[in-house]
Amino acid sequence: MAALRQEIPAAEIQRQKDICRRIRVSLGDGERFAMVDTYGCQQNESDSEVLRGYLGAMGYALTGDEEKADVIVVNTCAVREHAQMRVFGNVGALSHVKRVHPERIVVLCGCMAQSEAIREKVKRSYRMVDLCFGPHDLWRFPELMERTLQVHGLSGNRGRVFSAADAEAVAEGMPRARDGSVKAWLTIMNGCNNFCSYCIVPYVRGRERSRRSEEVVREAEALVAAGYRDITLLGQNVNSYGRGLEEECDFADLLRKINAIPGDFRIRFMTSHPKDATEKLFAAMAECEKCAPHLHLPVQSGSDRILKAMNRGYTREKYLHQVELARRYIPELVLTTDVIVGFPGETEADFLDTLSLTEEVGFDSMFTFIYSRRPGTKAAEWPDDTPRAVIQDRFDRLLESANAAAAALHAAQEGKTFRVLIDGRSKNGDYNLSSRTAGGRLVHLRGDESLIGQWAQARITGSNTYALFGEIAPIRSPDESMTGPNNG
Ligand code: SAH
Ligand code: SF4
Ligand code: F3S
């Protein structure tokens, strides 16, 4: 698949912003609302911030109320069939909104919309959708929106806009309406080159392309200056950051550059592919005091046979070696992972390999998925005859083991004190604040809401499978709040 890497010129982004202004003027006075409904991963959350940024520039106020929204944007995910079904269900349900308010605009974008088969299905069967475009077109949403608004009002001949760009863009300078003021996403790269045999992402997000480090650092500086204290660097495979750039800057170098930005903030990142995680990265994580001691390292399976069929590029032994190496550099490391159960041809023995690997590592949390056949991927063509009940049983056993491991790891934190960032409200019994340790563990606390956005020392007094519970420990000296242990 030949890919076109296209850096969108600044003048082009400016033109998109000008279109936003034109839309705002042409729509005239009066309140208008837009909502963006997001499915899928953090990458999509981040893209939705751009959609909201553009919509704001067009003069739409953001709402969470579907009844009120003049524009409803559904930013979709294609990674599993289930996610896709939910989108179709929810978009289908919008037909009642369109019956009452035909002037309203429904936009379907994101990963599903990059697939031609899906676009055809939407064209045919989801008549309520006015505009449909995939992630490659995100940067030119204003232009597509303007076209939609133009064709939309034509009497008796309601037009619809379907776009299918195949240029895989790197765009800088798009407006962004961020969610929250404490934690921020920072996309450092787009796309994926790995073609794991089960995965649709490379087909809908295109080839891997990194943003220039200068742009990433500039955005990180702006976030720190705006008061953000928790920055998550995003990419499908951050460990391969920098490939294809003219400059010499790999992910470990990038971490160091961001770590050098003055300020009291934490750097997180996801996702790390085990085949590309290097000793250099672990060393950088250990040295960069702002870098969270957390690694999300999806293993997917513990069976070499299945890992090979998945095209993951590592063995069980290599994975375990990576974990050992990472822990040697960062003893307090918090490890999380993704696992797929029921990959085509997975036997009970393969599954037991997965179970034993996860037990051996001891993950703080595990995202477990039942394999979902994605048409167009390699694995979709393979015989897949394991009975559903067998797969469900494996899934349940894995989940039980994962929960037990998480609960034990969490219980072991009781009595310890961590430096946490209070990042929002919690609704867990009488715990009203939520916070995160450096390693990313959730700690529920009690305290005044004015503490949101602040650092605190939290003494852990309880735990369960999903979280820790604690009390805010008194800070003895002003310095202590700045230099407390950044452990796990
Ligand atoms: N780029 C990341 C993850 C992308 S998708 C990585 O490589 O790890 C997030 C997770 O969804 C994957 O880690 C995988 O566990 C799961 N996933 C992807 N495709 C899937 C499929 N077809 N069926 C079930 N789970 C899938
Ligand atoms: Fe999908 Fe594999 Fe790429 Fe992750 S690395 S997005 S699982 S193809
Ligand atoms: Fe889904 Fe696209 Fe993310 S398919 S998981 S939203 S990259």
Residue nearest to atom 7 of ligand 3 (CA): 201
Domain boundaries, the chain: 2-169, 183-411, 417-483
Pocket test for ligand 1, best of 301, 340, 373, 384 (most atoms within 8 A of CB): 340
**Nearest partner of 116 among 196, 33, 200, 53, judged by Cα:** 200
C-alpha of residue 30 to centroid of ligand 3, in Å: 36
In short, whether 192's Cβ falls inside 6 Å of ligand 2 is yes
C-alpha of residue 115 to centroid of ligand 3, in Å: 12
In short, whether 272's Cβ falls inside 6 Å of ligand 2 is no
Residue nearest to atom 2 of ligand 1 (CA): 236
Sequential DSSP letters for 102-116: TT-EEEEEEGGGGSH
The pair phi, psi for residue 150, each rounded to 5°, is -70, -45
Pocket test for ligand 3, best of 44, 87, 338 (most atoms within 8 A of CB): 44
The residue assigned the tokens 């809401």 is 449
For residue 312, give the ligand 2 atom closest to its CA: 2
CATH no., domain 183-411: 3.80.30.20
Pocket test for ligand 2, best of 77, 79, 80, 192 (most atoms within 8 A of CB): 192
Distances (CA, A) of 411 to 399, 407, 468: 18, 6, 8
Tokens of 354: 């997965």
Pocket test for ligand 1, best of 204, 319, 338 (most atoms within 8 A of CB): 338
**Nearest partner of 62 among 178, 174, 162, judged by Cα:** 178
Helical spans, DSSP H, in 269-387 = 279-287, 304-309, 316-329, 348-361
Residue nearest to atom 8 of ligand 1 (CA): 298
Pocket test for ligand 1, best of 343, 369, 371 (most atoms within 8 A of CB): 369
Closest ligand to 44 CA?
3
State residue 205's pLDDT score: 94
Whole-angstrom distance, CA of residue 19 vs CA of residue 99: 29
Closest ligand to 205 CA?
3
In this structure, the residues whose C-beta lies within 6 A of any atom of ligand 3 are 40-41, 43-44, 77-79, 111, 200-201, 204-205
Sequential DSSP letters for 232-278: EEE-TTGGGTTTT-SS---HHHHHHHHHTS-SS-EEEEE---GGG--
In short, whether 273's Cβ falls inside 6 Å of ligand 2 is yes
Q: Which CATH class is domain 2-169?
A: alpha beta
The reply to whether omega before 271 is within 30° of 0 (cis) is yes
State residue 476's pLDDT score: 54
Whole-angstrom distance, CA of residue 125 vs CA of residue 119: 10
The CATH-assigned architecture of domain 417-483 is Beta Barrel (2.40)
Closest ligand to 375 CA?
1
> Exposure string (b/e) for 157-196, b if CB count within 10 Å is 16 or more?
eeebbbbebeebbbbbebbbbeeeebbbbbbbbbbbebeb
Q: Taking the complete model, does pTM exceed 0.85, yes or no?
A: yes
Pocket test for ligand 1, best of 39, 79, 204, 381 (most atoms within 8 A of CB): 79
C-alpha of residue 271 to centroid of ligand 2, in Å: 9
> Which long-range contacts link 382-390 to residues 24+ away (Cβ below 8 Å)?
382/309, 382/344, 382/345, 383/344, 383/345, 384/344, 384/345, 386/342, 386/344, 386/345, 386/346
Closest ligand to 190 CA?
3
Q: One digit per residue, pLDDT tens: the chain, 488 residues?
A: 434 457 899 999 999 999 999 999 999 888 999 999 999 999 999 999 999 999 999 999 999 998 899 999 999 999 999 999 999 999 999 998 888 888 899 999 999 999 999 999 999 999 999 999 999 999 999 999 999 998 876 544 567 889 888 777 899 999 999 988 999 999 999 999 999 999 999 999 999 999 999 999 999 999 999 999 999 999 999 999 999 898 999 999 999 999 999 999 999 999 999 999 999 999 999 999 999 999 999 999 999 999 999 999 999 999 999 999 999 999 999 999 999 999 999 999 999 999 999 999 999 999 999 999 999 999 999 999 999 999 999 999 999 999 999 999 999 999 999 999 999 999 999 999 999 999 999 999 999 999 999 999 999 999 999 999 999 987 654 444 444 444 56
For residue 44, give the ligand 3 atom closest to its CA: 6
Residue nearest to atom 19 of ligand 1 (CA): 199
In short, whether 195's Cβ falls inside 6 Å of ligand 2 is yes
Distances (CA, A) of 206 to 3, 169, 172: 8, 9, 18
For residue 75, give the ligand 3 atom closest to its CA: 6
Residue nearest to atom 5 of ligand 1 (CA): 79
Residue nearest to atom 13 of ligand 1 (CA): 338
Residue nearest to atom 1 of ligand 3 (CA): 77
Tell me whether the CATH fold assigned to 183-411 matches the one assigned to 417-483.
no
358 strand-pairing partners:
none
Instruction: Answer for the pair 39, 165: CB distance below 8 angstroms, yes or no.
Output: no
